[in-house]
Amino acid sequence: MILRYTVRNDGARPCPTTTAGVFCDWDIGDSASNLGGTDASRSASYMYPSTGGTGHYGVALLQPSTYANLTLISNPTHVYPNGYIDDGMKVRHIQGIISLTSTATADDWSALTSAGPSVIGPGEEVVYVFAMVWGEDLADFQAQRGRRRGRRPHRSHGRGAGPRAPRRDAGPERAQPLQPPHRDPLLGRAGTAGAPGGLRPQRRTGEGADPAQLRSGEHSVVWLGDDAAGGAAPSGLYLYRIETDESSTTRKMMLVR
């Protein structure tokens, strides 16, 4: 899959430091047992499972030729505390101020490939192109990345290229901003468990937690997608935690309306 973002400056002043990036939380097999790496020669970041899955999944930059950052991101450090990466930390990762080129231990990670910085003059635009790449192993991932070099769109407009001719359709393409997941409820659905000591799902909102105690055995606790006030919670990424006397596990789920 190829992702193409066109960023146009319709203002009267230059945009001096424009960057763009693609964050991917691959969750391969057991999301808490993933590893990752980067490949500067191929402008790619990727992840793979240590157990419970197969394949290498990643994002490669096709255009422009210079990347801003290739990095792995610790979800327990940067996502779990709030349920999202705050904008300031997101910018620091995209710009390459924070960079981790490989993972030392298996955990829940995300990967980022970003491009820039680009200078976009008034009436000009720049095109960013990314490829979603999969391979059976690292060698196959690298080979698949190589096959996409010839698919790079050749048209690009940046500083010095001059303004693009006005479009005659619905208007210029624009890069879609990265939207953070919603920030309200953190707990929604607990799956099944058979650990001794019982399962304790908690629905946590800004007003605190609503704990429940389940006996040992197999259970299914369903969240109907409502918030603390009984209204419809918005689409986005949510976290849920399953606790027993022996362990506590945090996982992610996506609500799509």
Q: Which candidate, 203, 185, 205, places its Cα nearest to that of 242?
A: 203
H or E stretch at 73: strand 67-74
Q: Do residues 24 and 132 both lie within one domain?
A: yes
Domain membership of residue 143 (yes or no) is yes
Q: Do residues 143 and 225 both lie within one domain?
A: no
Domain membership of residue 184 (yes or no) is no
| Residues 35-47, mean pLDDT to the nearest whole number | 96
Amino acid at 198: G
| Residues 36-64, mean pLDDT to the nearest whole number | 93
- Domain final position from 135, 151, 167: 151
Domain containing 225: what range? 202-255
Q: What is residue 190's predicted lDDT score, i.e. its pLDDT? A: 35
Q: Residue by residue, what is the 3-state secondary structure of 110-162?
A: EEEEEEEEEEECCCCEEEEEEEEEEECCHHHHHHHHHHCHHHCCCCCCCCCCC
- Name the pTM for this structure: 0.61
Q: Do residues 43 and 138 both lie within one domain?
A: yes
Q: Do residues 100 and 223 both lie within one domain?
A: no
Q: What is the pLDDT of residues 68-96, one digit of tens each?
A: 999 999 999 999 998 889 999 999 999 99
- Residue 9, classed as helix, strand or coil, is coil
Domain membership of residue 221 (yes or no) is yes
Q: How many domains does the chain divide into?
A: 2
Q: Do residues 97 and 207 both lie within one domain?
A: no
Domain membership of residue 168 (yes or no) is no
Domain membership of residue 83 (yes or no) is yes
Domain membership of residue 175 (yes or no) is no
Domain membership of residue 234 (yes or no) is yes
Q: What is the pLDDT of residues 148-177, one digit of tens each?
A: 664 444 343 333 334 344 333 433 333 333
Q: What is residue 206's predicted lDDT score, i.e. its pLDDT? A: 39
Instruction: Find tokens 């918005």 and name the residue.
Output: 234
Q: Do residues 126 and 245 both lie within one domain?
A: no
Which residues have a Cβ under 8 Å from the Cβ of 86 and sit 6 or more positions away? Answer: 180
Domain membership of residue 180 (yes or no) is no
Distance CA 137, CA 7 (A): 34
How large a percentage of the chain has pLDDT more than 90? Answer: 49
- Domain final position from 92, 124, 151: 151
